Structure 1
Amino acid sequence: MSDVRLPPVSGRVQSLHARMTLEEKLGQLVGYWVDQGDELVAPMAGEMATSTKYEEAAAHGIGHLTRVYGTRPVDPVERAAWLWAEQRRLREQTRLGIPAIVHEECLTGLAAWKAATFPTPLAWGASFDPALVEEMGRLIGGSMRQLGIHQGLAPVLDVIRDPRWGRVDECIAEDPYVVGTIGTAYVRGLQDAGIHATLKHFVGYSASQAGRNHAPVHAGPRELADVLLPPFEMAVRDGGVRSVMNSYADVDGIPVAASADLLTDLLREKWGFDGVVVSDYFSVAFLHTMHRVAEDLGEAAALALAAGIDVELPTGDAFAAPLAAAVRDGRVDEALIDRAVLRVLTEKEELGLFDETFAEPPTEIDLDTPAHRDLARRLASESIMLLSNDGILPLDPERLRRVAVIGPNADSAEALMGCYSFVNHVLAHHPDVPLGLELPSLVDALRLELPEAALVVVPGCDVSGDDVSGIPDAVAAARDADVALVVVGDRAGLFGRGTVGEGNDVEDLELPGVQRRLVEEVVASGVPTIVVVLSGRPYAIGWALDGPSALVQAFFPGEEGGDAIAGILTGRTSPSGRLPVSLPRSAGAQPYSYLHPVLGGPSEITSADSTPALPFGFGLTYTTFRHSGVTAPAESSTDADLTIVVDVANTGTRAGVDVVQLYARDVYASVTRPVAQLVGYARVALEPGERTVVGFVVPSARLAFADRRGVRVVEPGDIEFWVGGSCEDRETTTTTRLTGPVHEVTAADGRTVAVAVATAARS
């Protein structure tokens, strides 16, 4: 008698499941990559490519169709017609008539030809604006629904631990609260549009050894509990996410794809997740080929199923024929398959697939409407960070006659796009195919922004490589100009095709190639120089905080990024982005997080200093803000909410947006605690001279941590609170004493994932 507990399901699902053969069950647990070719759009895709023909794989039905729109540049209308016909075929020509779930990547917008491309997730973090990210998710989801897509493989909730890791641009922040609040907002937006979001990569992936992709993870249980897991818990419990994808990593020697502790005991039993767990691409097979914990693909399938993976993506390398053989020879309990199938059928029922007729495919599709572009522009503008400024910014267009626009990223649309944008993810393999949408470069935007100025455009060097022959021409152009804009940074790509992105990990954090030399020689010309960094990771550019007149950082701002940066430079828009990740001092100081205990910072007993060049939360504006009079209750119970109030004033001469940041520190605890922890934030727009009172309601569980038993608790004791311009800026401070017994935070607590809310009263 099997002891596998089956999930509760509707009568319709129960009846359908009762009729299924083993082959029909397994068909629902796999995807098929109809368009898969030799392009490197997933790790080891060529090596793992299935030889099974689609007609054979789908003969008994199929669970997922993999990246129907996102593998090659296909016309959306033509592809939709094919998809509708294929869904009708599955409905009419397979015995049970079950349509497939269609999934796509949607990390920077729908990854399809002609679809809008939004800022990369690291830019979402820089915006500190969950509401706008939720709005973006809703727009992206609407585009996906038009095309018959049901599931999006986003958001990425990995907390940044080491900027050397190539996938940093896919992440939101180094702070789990920012990751959780913004990531959950994206989940809500996508799912409000009827698309099931998929959390990636559960869990630990970003904490890989030395920042190397797929490297082992040595995180202890406390780092998992207090840093890496909270964003996922927020999205599950507060966001109601419907799908989760496992991490490729092994954590302390146990591959996540084979960990029932994580995928079942924690995710389902403790957090109450009742959706579907899908495998990251080929990760079930990796249990055999890479982790070497399974002797063959059948054993790999058994381990993954038992752990809690329900669907193998992108294809059925392990869950098809190898799993069927393992069931028939008694190595796998069929009840494990039943459990997964019931979850998949329930998901299809939720998505309305059982009642969909697929009668009329769309004949007109606009995936990049004015609404898409407006939101892309707003989010890009909010995400751009001003890191230094000697007063040169904002530029006065009427006083500029000649501008030297220098650098390899100045006139490149690709430089505005992240790794998982369709442009860099897919079109890089199809150089003869047009981009499919308007992607103005920064130079294009500057020509519109500065119509009276002559722009002299000189690349100076490439993004990578050691060719310095173009630098003298760049310096000469700068000397003849009123101001020089030097635009440097990254080119996103995959697996060695680029300087950042999946598989593009680095050993140092210097700007790629000879770009630093380009900047320094232009600065040495004596011409006022503004440096703009377009990148997917923070680089060790502390040296650029002094010589250049201004330093602007943009994390891949998307299709309207050129316009957004141009608007910041001229003051049409005031900068409001804040660093979602510390600006590193050096590669040798990594891994680093502002969430470090006392021993993680500088001290007199080591000559090595890990202090970042700029701290988490830092960002300048074109005005000044004062934070004062922060107040909190003198005492509060360990199981109560705290209301903390601060006065915020615009003390400058221009309108601006302040990102009000509330930090806390547990002065003494039973285990070491961070010297600073963000517990609330809010974007507040103020006119010159205007002030407001911002009130934060902070659940006590925001202060919880894993104690020596591994139980998340809130302990009595003193808590310091402060508000300032970054985690290091204690502009106004107060203290609260938590009283009462140690409060154990449980799944039923309700305050585990509550979001701190800011309310403003103006005067």
Structure 2
Amino acid sequence: MTLAEKVAQLGSRWVGNDQTGAQEPAEEQLNVAPMQDVFSTAGAVSLEDASRHGLGQLTRVWGSVPLSFEEGAAEVVRQHRVVLAGSRLGVPALVHEECLTGFTTYGATVYPTALAWAATFDPELVERMATAIGQDMAAAGVHQGLSPVLDVVRDYRWGRVEESMGEDPYLVGILGSAYVRGLQSAGIVATLKHFAGYSASRAGRNHGPVSIGRRELLDVILPTFELAIATADAGSVMTSYSDLDGLPAGVDPWLFTQVLRDEWGFAGTVVSDYWAVPFLASMHRVAATADDAGALALAAGTDVELPDAIGFGAGLVKRVESGELSEDLIDRAARRVLLQKVQLGLLDPDWTPEGSVRVRDFDSAGNRALALELAERSVVLLDAGTALPLERLAPKRIAVIGPAAGDPRSFMGCYAFPNHVLPRYPDLGLGISVPTLFDALGKELPEVELVHERGSAVLGEDRSGFPAAVEAARGADLVIACVGDVSGLFGQGSSGEGCDAEDLRLPGVQGELVAALLDSGTPVVVVVVSGRPYALGEIAARAAGLVQAFFPGQEGGAAIAGVLSGRVVPGGKLPVQIPRQLGGQPGTYLQPPLGSVESAGISGLEATPLFPFGYGASYTTFEVGDLRLSADEIATDGSFDVTVQVRNTGVRGGDEVVQLYLHDVVAQVARPVKLLTGFARVRLEPGDAAEVVFQVHADRTAYSGPDLRRIVEAGEIEVLVGTSSAELPCRATVRITGATRVVGHDRTMVTPVEIRTRGTG
């Protein structure tokens, strides 16, 4: 290959970003990616010119504008043919798409958001979902999916909390790895993002600077990525936009070469986040020009620039020819890109553009059934109160009030196609059937008279709908108030990318609306449908029931209605805490003693959350007990089993999530009071019991010591088992003995779990 041909393999072209719909408004806020207008010069380059020497990737052929299957398939073939015609060697381009809540294309199933996956605590279910998503994408001729997000939540105000899988690294890593296995089983390369530290920005501000210590990075942020690479063989990693203590992640060779490649043995490709390469010049100002930025990113370890080749273009060729840049760096990246294309079959002699696309229904009955199963398992019952399930009260007339009750967009995240692209095409609707909560309740409760009032919008200060809402409440036996978020991009929603929150009060005047309904004298069940947790302390004290759903997808209405009626026994658990006050509690449960509830009294701010991490109520009851350890002392390279019994002591079949936490009693650095170390979702019928056995290796106690080496040391470890981070009735202590061990990427990262059903006893 010539130098120009090798460089071409490192670039991409976003043809769909140049297309605009006739109905598209002019507002830049409706862009489908950040800063796309800033780099509009890329749109001046035709696909023919961009692929004169070949091309690395085609960007979002399906995910940029609404296309029918026939139109999308034809466009995939057309773009491939352009690339092949202009390339001397005939190397096909790789096609990538978004897939955060399903295949992001017109008419495809919208699954729950990642935060809802996390609420299921069910990796097997997440893997099944990802497999279905991957199969749809593979049929569309797609090769790479830009998911999962493995950022650990550090501040609930961050707009992209909805895209994450919560605040615990082990939960995020296990579920993220399951997603990777599912997607890649269908032949789609999974892309871990955002590497690394993006979620730890100051004040939860998108693209904000990250003031993070190396230890927090090593022990909280990086393990999720490491686990997905070690246990699921993830094929790609995406760079973060953020700077870490002043150094942009994309130019940090410690991250992308020393850690990712040398220590972890990652052999896949590193792709830039959209425009992260030119951002090095325009936003971070660590480079003077886009060409300089390209050279810096390449040297640090980025292999492919997305979504268009700006820094990875002719400037790289000129630098090599002038001797400013080693051609070895070009060869290194090109070799990785071409190897991945070989693995995907793109260089097989029988591969053709036409053969890469197969007819498929992207919103099949099977997809929708899977989306419903996920949604039902993700709904978290915070408090049944006096009104739930509704079958107990048998109300004759229910007032369904709130902006989320009648808007199907309230169920979907910002990367779902109806929220991501279709606001630019208002006449097209949603492209799929998404029943509202009001519609779903009508189907769920056919004998009940339902009335609906919006009350207010999600955002804004308009209170003109309050009187009608209160009147409807007073005329009903029960109120279901459905409030929360609407997801969008860059200020077009209350949640989503670029939609960060000032504090954790319900957006707009929804808090006032709920207060007015609570004052009506009619019992009020509050349902929060959101992309982040909100402070619900004042509401919880007065509500007749409280339910949390994290953007449950297109089947979310049916799932929530089923939980409210009692047809579905809720089993979701919180992957993030529910705050009591607007900002008084710590951001996550991962706090050392000085920042946790143990330090109550040293600050005037309340440190206890309203509902803790891992919490979720049910319509049945469970007991966890009979803790047994296989050993009370192990070596620093040993292991022990933790066995508990969980029993359904109620009258309904249901699911419980048994959770294992470890507490390092004395360590060389300040450590979290407790860390989730294992979990198992167990289904039990009334009276049935099961034994849950966690196999804990000493490596699971490892942490970064004072010199930042990861160590397993002697000392006491408290073993805590229960049903949330705060409800841990089973406690014991294990002593670790022997010499301190330094452990690396080959350490044990997973706690295997065995469930032994015992039946009625």
**What residue number does 2:752 align with?**
756
**1:626 maps onto 2:623 in alignment:** yes
Q: Distance in 1 between the 2:751 and 2:347 partners?
A: 36
CA contact (8 A) 1:88 1:358 kept: yes
Deviations 1:247-279 (A, max 9, x none): 111111111100000001000000000000000
**1:492 maps onto 2:490 in alignment:** no
**1:549 maps onto 2:544 in alignment:** yes
CA contact (8 A) 1:28 1:62 kept: yes
Match of 2:534 among 535, 539, 543: 539
**What residue number does 1:167 align with?**
160
The one-letter code matched in structure 1 to 2:112 is P
1:240-259 correspondence runs (5 A):
240-259=233-252
Q: Distance in 2 between the 1:668 and 1:744 partners?
A: 18
SS in 2 for 1:71: coil
**Alignment size in residue pairs:** 742
Q: Distance in 1 between the 2:162 and 2:527 partners?
A: 17
Deviations 1:27-67 (A, max 9, x none): 11011000114651111011112122221111111100000
Instruction: Please state how far the C-alpha of 1:468 moved relative to its aligned partner.
Output: 1.1
CA contact (8 A) 2:156 2:204 kept: yes
Instruction: Please state how far the C-alpha of 1:587 moved relative to its aligned partner.
Output: 4.1
Indicate the RMSD between aligned Cα atoms, in angstroms: 1.4
Deviations 1:637-682 (A, max 9, x none): 2212221001111111211110111111000111111111111101
**What residue number does 1:662 align with?**
660
Instruction: Please state how far the C-alpha of 1:322 moved relative to its aligned partner.
Output: 2.3
Instruction: Please state how far the C-alpha of 1:748 moved relative to its aligned partner.
Output: 3.1
Q: Distance in 2 between the 1:361 and 1:335 partners?
A: 33
**What residue number does 1:44 align with?**
35
Deviations 1:164-199 (A, max 9, x none): 001100000100000000000000000000000000
CA contact (8 A) 1:123 1:557 kept: yes
1:2-81 correspondence runs (5 A):
20-37=1-18, 39-49=30-40, 50=42, 51-81=44-74
Match of 2:433 among 420, 433, 438: 438
Greater shift after overlay, 603-612 or 452-461? 603-612
Q: Distance in 2 between the 1:360 and 1:197 partners?
A: 22
CA contact (8 A) 1:384 1:554 kept: yes
Q: Distance in 2 between the 1:491 and 1:399 partners?
A: 31
Q: Distance in 2 between the 1:591 and 1:214 partners?
A: 22
1:462-501 correspondence runs (5 A):
462-501=457-496
Q: Distance in 2 between the 1:467 and 1:481 partners?
A: 24
The one-letter code matched in structure 2 to 1:727 is S
1:401-440 correspondence runs (5 A):
401-440=396-435
Instruction: Please state how far the C-alpha of 1:428 moved relative to its aligned partner.
Output: 1.2
SS in 1 for 2:583: helix
**1:605 maps onto 2:602 in alignment:** yes
Match of 1:335 among 303, 324, 328: 328
Instruction: Please state how far the C-alpha of 1:589 moved relative to its aligned partner.
Output: 3.2
Q: Distance in 2 between the 1:331 and 1:74 partners?
A: 44
Instruction: Please state how far the C-alpha of 1:236 moved relative to its aligned partner.
Output: 0.7
Greater shift after overlay, 154-163 or 316-325? 316-325
CA contact (8 A) 2:585 2:605 kept: no
1:702-713 correspondence runs (5 A):
702-713=700-711
Instruction: Please state how far the C-alpha of 1:605 moved relative to its aligned partner.
Output: 2.6
CA contact (8 A) 2:660 2:721 kept: yes
The one-letter code matched in structure 1 to 2:388 is L
Match of 2:445 among 439, 450, 458: 450
Deviations 1:692-748 (A, max 9, x none): 111111222221100011011111111111112211122121111111111221223
**What residue number does 2:375 align with?**
380
The one-letter code matched in structure 2 to 1:117 is V
SS in 2 for 1:722: strand
SS in 2 for 1:354: coil
CA contact (8 A) 1:630 1:733 kept: yes
SS in 2 for 1:589: coil
Instruction: Please state how far the C-alpha of 1:334 moved relative to its aligned partner.
Output: 1.4
For structure 1, the residue ranges without an aligned partner over 5 or more in a row are: 1-19
**What residue number does 2:669 align with?**
671
Greater shift after overlay, 190-199 or 428-437? 428-437
CA contact (8 A) 1:25 1:337 kept: yes
Q: Distance in 1 between the 2:54 and 2:753 partners?
A: 47
**What residue number does 2:344 align with?**
351
Q: Distance in 1 between the 2:745 and 2:384 partners?
A: 47
Greater shift after overlay, 720-729 or 346-355? 720-729
Greater shift after overlay, 40-49 or 555-564? 40-49
1:130-529 correspondence runs (5 A):
130-355=123-348, 356-360=351-355, 362=357, 364-396=359-391, 399-529=394-524
Q: Distance in 1 between the 2:751 and 2:392 partners?
A: 42
Q: 1:667 to 1:345 in 2, by over 3 A?
A: same
CA contact (8 A) 2:694 2:751 kept: no
1:113-128 correspondence runs (5 A):
113-128=106-121
SS in 2 for 1:292: coil
Q: Distance in 1 between the 2:649 and 2:436 partners?
A: 35
**What residue number does 2:648 align with?**
650
Q: Distance in 2 between the 1:681 and 1:510 partners?
A: 31
SS in 2 for 1:229: helix
The one-letter code matched in structure 2 to 1:625 is F
Q: Distance in 2 between the 1:580 and 1:92 partners?
A: 49
Instruction: Please state how far the C-alpha of 1:420 moved relative to its aligned partner.
Output: 0.8
SS in 1 for 2:472: helix
CA contact (8 A) 2:460 2:508 kept: yes
CA contact (8 A) 1:80 1:361 kept: no
Q: Distance in 2 between the 1:684 and 1:517 partners?
A: 39
**1:614 maps onto 2:595 in alignment:** no
Q: Distance in 1 between the 2:589 and 2:605 partners?
A: 16
Q: Distance in 2 between the 1:301 and 1:197 partners?
A: 24
Deviations 1:277-326 (A, max 9, x none): 00000001111111111111221111101100000000011101222222
SS in 1 for 2:645: strand
Deviations 1:466-490 (A, max 9, x none): 1111111111111111111000000
For structure 2, the residue ranges without an aligned partner over 5 or more in a row are: 19-27
Q: Distance in 1 between the 2:82 and 2:37 partners?
A: 28
Q: Distance in 1 between the 2:205 and 2:151 partners?
A: 14
SS in 2 for 1:432: helix
Greater shift after overlay, 725-734 or 575-584? 725-734
Q: 1:607 to 1:361 in 2, by over 3 A?
A: closer
**What residue number does 2:25 align with?**
none
Q: 1:384 to 1:291 in 2, by over 3 A?
A: same
**What residue number does 1:16 align with?**
none
**1:697 maps onto 2:695 in alignment:** yes
The one-letter code matched in structure 2 to 1:27 is A
Deviations 1:609-659 (A, max 9, x none): 332221101110001111112122211122122210011111112111101
**1:577 maps onto 2:590 in alignment:** no
**What residue number does 1:8 align with?**
none
Q: Distance in 1 between the 2:11 and 2:328 partners?
A: 17
CA contact (8 A) 1:461 1:514 kept: yes
SS in 2 for 1:648: strand
Q: 1:455 to 1:397 in 2, by over 3 A?
A: farther
